[in-house]
Amino acid sequence: MWSNFFVQQDEEGRIGVAGAGQGGVKGGRGQRRVHRMSDSQEGKIKLAFFVAIIGVTLTVLGMGTEFWVELAQPKNFSGNQTCQMAHYGLWKGCVRTLWVADIDPERTSCGPAELPGELRGVSAPLCCSRLQMLLFDSFPDLNLAAAILALLSLTMMVMGSLCIAMALSKGVAFFLKPASFCFILSGVLVLLSVLIFHQSVLALLSSDHSVPLHHELSWSVACVGSAGAILIFGGFLFIVLSLPFSPWQKCLPHKNSAT
């Protein structure tokens, strides 16, 4: 009788220990720790974010200025001592009246825009020349698609920056992939905005042949184009940093010292 009692108690004890062991395993699975990034990885993320910030700064600088393209008449087109040229961007344009004597003698067209002269905004209701009338009538419709893409790219840059800020504050690399998607997409949208803007310039020149114009893309387009390439490069850097392994060690494995 007593032997059967002790055997039963021993079996119940084993079952309890086994149940406790399974509960501990489940509890360990439920309380899995989130892998936090190391200090070196955090430094690399900050460096890649600095590259992306350069692209964002160049994008804002280029989009906020009106030196995307310069349209210039021949400097002797009016037959007097002045000539006209225009420069505009996504939001604003200006027409300048320059003195022919200030222009380089080897230059056949009016310009450049840095020369001193009379400045008049394209949005002014009083247009006193054919060049101003042409820009004033065509400016709002030609740049609408490019402006919308530019605004979408700025939105994606803000979202990517928020993802990086959350990744650095939480110490996890989970937000690097959405950040890389946002920055790559913003760079592509910026480049598409430049291409559509250039097509709009060509459409403007082909719409009216009464005014011979020489067009030249200016420094704002250079800023925006460089920004698009930098944003795409920064997005790929975030993709590399989000990988669970080092691509350099994967492509160039270290040889064993024994061999």
Average pLDDT of the chain is 75
Domains and CATH numbers, the chain: 39-66+127-243 (1.20.140.150)
pLDDT band, residue 94 (cuts 50/70/90): confident
Half-sphere exposure of 164 (CA within 13 A, CB side): 30
For range 132-152, the mean pLDDT = 71
For the segment 220-253, what is each residue's pLDDT rounded down to a tens digit?
A: 999 999 999 999 999 999 998 887 666 555 555 5
154-202 pLDDT, tens digit per residue, is 999 999 999 999 988 887 778 889 999 999 999 999 999 999 988 888 8
Eight-class DSSP state of 36 = P
pTM of the complete model = 0.72
Are the C-beta atoms of residues 180 and 231 closer than 8 Å to each other? no
Amino acid 209: pLDDT? 66
